[in-house]
Amino acid sequence: MILAFDTYYFNDTAKTVALAFNWPDDKPHAVYTETLTGIEEYVPGAFYRRELPCILSLLKQIDLTDIDCIIVDGFVYLDDNATHGLGAHLYEALNQKTPIIGVAKTNFATIEKLKVPVLRGDSKNPLYVTAIGTGLKAAVNNVAMMHGSYRIPTLLRELDRLTKDGV
């Protein structure tokens, strides 16, 4: 089973949603959600400080026994020196037991070798995939095969919608 996380911020509040699914699925097996207040302001270069506590809090609701990997909306690394981004910080917080795949919609210019652009559907704009705890090639293949004929896979689009739903 795969978990994908996304968080939407408004004021000092964050709504985090996670979907549980298998790679080819078009519908989640489970949906988890949590809204937290008192969220830190965004600090450039330290996004993980804002989002990691939200993910870790929601993970308390989830049994990780059958989780093969976690997808985060963002990067695992911030540069080719493997400076930790959100994904790598999450990997460390989980005692390096659960592989993390970062899927970002926007390029991060300071990383070239440790990311792979993935074109899906007819889109000319790639998604950017990074990974830790699993091979980058396997991560790219799995993201490429996710359900949906558009740039953003069906379940990642649904995840984004759910974070904004009701806020």
For the chain, which domains are there?
2-164 (3.30.2170.10)
| Burial (0-12, 13-18, 19+ Cβ within 10 Å), 113 | exposed
Q: pLDDT of 100-123, one tens digit each?
A: 999 999 998 899 999 999 999 999
Full pLDDT tens readout for the chain, 167 residues: 999 999 999 988 999 999 999 999 999 999 999 999 999 888 877 888 899 999 999 999 999 999 999 999 999 999 999 999 999 999 999 999 999 999 999 998 899 999 999 999 999 999 999 999 999 999 999 999 999 999 999 999 999 999 999 77
- Full-model pTM: 0.96
Size (the chain), residues: 167
- Give the DSSP letter string of 64-107: GGG--EEEESS-SBSSTT--B-HHHHHHHHTTT-S-EEEEESS-
Single-letter amino acid, residue 104: A
In contact, 19 and 142? CB cutoff 8 Å? no
